[in-house]
Amino acid sequence: MAACSIEDVLAKAEQDEAEKLKSITVQKELDLEFDIGNLVAYDKNRIDIRQFREQKKDDFLRSLARDNTQLLINEIWKHPTERVEEVIVVKLPEPTTALPREKPPPKPRPPTKWEEFAKLKGIQKKKKTNLVWDDVAKEWKRRWGYKRVNDGTKEWLIEVPETADPNEDQFAKRNKAKKEKVAKNELHRLRNIARAQKIKVPGVGLTPTAQQSTTDLIRAVNVAKVSTASAGKFQDRLPKEKAPRNTGKKRKFQPVIGNFSNEKQRQLDLLKVMDSKKPRLDVNKAVNKQMREDDREESAAKFRKGGKKGRKGGNFSGKGKGGSGKGKGGGSKGRAGGKGQGPPGGKKGAGKR
């Protein structure tokens, strides 16, 4: 019994292993078609319906898929490989399957004005060679572009025609004409593009930019306002619109020898404003007062202790009293000034009452 069971187990194990290591070769009636670029394999073999019905459907499909994947991987391994950072990578060829478009195809460009005209007139495009033989330089030169054959701007000698002004610069004239031609060509090119994309271009003036900020709009309004015949002098303003005052860059100073009395008056007014804004230094006064009080207490304490030090304490207190009497400024001149102004002020007050 044990022997039988052992045999059974071994046989089962062998079967399992055989199933796992199924051979990598697969037999198929028709060979698969591969598109390795897209990692695709097309299997055109007929499916045996009887076999499909006999087995479990899942198992049949799984074995079919397994076989086809094996063939696909076999095919992939046939291609050249390389090693990228310790990983073996296969270089895929170009995909052969034509995938449909994602987006609709682009519409054909509408013909330019010249193309329309050429079609109307029946003008054919003549293919011209790029290089032209130049007899003067005895070499092949371009028909157009860098170092071309007929470069009008690079002439070293220009004959002045009889009808032209002798003081006119012919070379400058040619350069200017060239620039104008280039500009005209560019303008036509852009117009063609605008017509093709149905963008509206104004005849005169600038095209408006997409999004303008508030400052840009304000600037535009100010510029437009000044762009009248009388430089915006008679332009009305909206009810709540403010006058633009900082458009100019130049600073304006008073003249060197202006009105002296005006200047003096302005400075005196400024001083008056400054005085009114100055706070009365209460903090410092309070701190100093406190310190004086402390000194006085100290000296009083020392006086109580001994008679000699009393004199010093008395002196201190005298100075302290004198200091606290005045509001601000201890200078003699300041005091004199204050005294002088006092009585006249008082008299004035009396007169008013």
- Give the interface segment with another protein, choosing from 47-55, 123-131, 228-236, 271-279 (CB under 8 A): 271-279
User: Would you state the structure tokens that stand for residue 55, as one six-digit string?
Assistant: 């087995």
Task: Kindly tell me the burial class for residue 299, based on how many C-beta atoms sit within 10 Å of its own C-beta (0-12, 13-18, 19 or more).
Answer: buried
| Contact positions with another protein (CB under 8 A) in 283-342 | 284, 287-288, 291-292, 295, 319, 322-323, 326, 328-331, 333-334
> In whole angstroms, how close is the CB of 332 to another protein at the nearest point?
9
> In whole angstroms, how close is the CB of 329 to another protein at the nearest point?
5
Rounded (10°) angle between helices 282-305 and 308-325: 160
> In whole angstroms, how close is the CB of 234 to another protein at the nearest point?
32
- Give the interface segment with another protein, choosing from 8-16, 82-90, 141-149, 282-290 (CB under 8 A): 282-290
Question: Rounded to the nearest 5°, which phi and psi values hold at 83?
Answer: -105, 125
The whole-angstrom separation of Cα 331 and Cα 318 is 18
The whole-angstrom separation of Cα 325 and Cα 319 is 10
Which of 177, 183, 218, 281 is close enough to bind another protein by CB under 8 A?
Answer: 281
Which of 172, 229, 274, 350 is close enough to bind another protein by CB under 8 A?
Answer: 274
> In whole angstroms, how close is the CB of 257 to another protein at the nearest point?
6
The whole-angstrom separation of Cα 91 and Cα 316 is 104
Identify the DSSP state of 250.
-
Give CA separation, 3 vs 6, 15, 16, 17, in Å.
5, 18, 20, 21
User: Would you state the structure tokens that stand for residue 159, as one six-digit string?
Assistant: 């004959």
> In whole angstroms, how close is the CB of 343 to another protein at the nearest point?
19
Site string for another protein, 223-262 (x = CB under 8 A): ------------------------------xxxxxx-x--
Sign of the four-CA dihedral 69, 70, 71, 75: positive
Which of 187, 268, 286, 301 is close enough to bind another protein by CB under 8 A?
Answer: 268
Number of residues that bind another protein (CB under 8 A): 33
The residues of the shown chain that bind another protein, judged by CB under 8 A, are: 253-258, 260, 263-264, 266-268, 270-271, 274-275, 281, 284, 287-288, 291-292, 295, 319, 322-323, 326, 328-331, 333-334
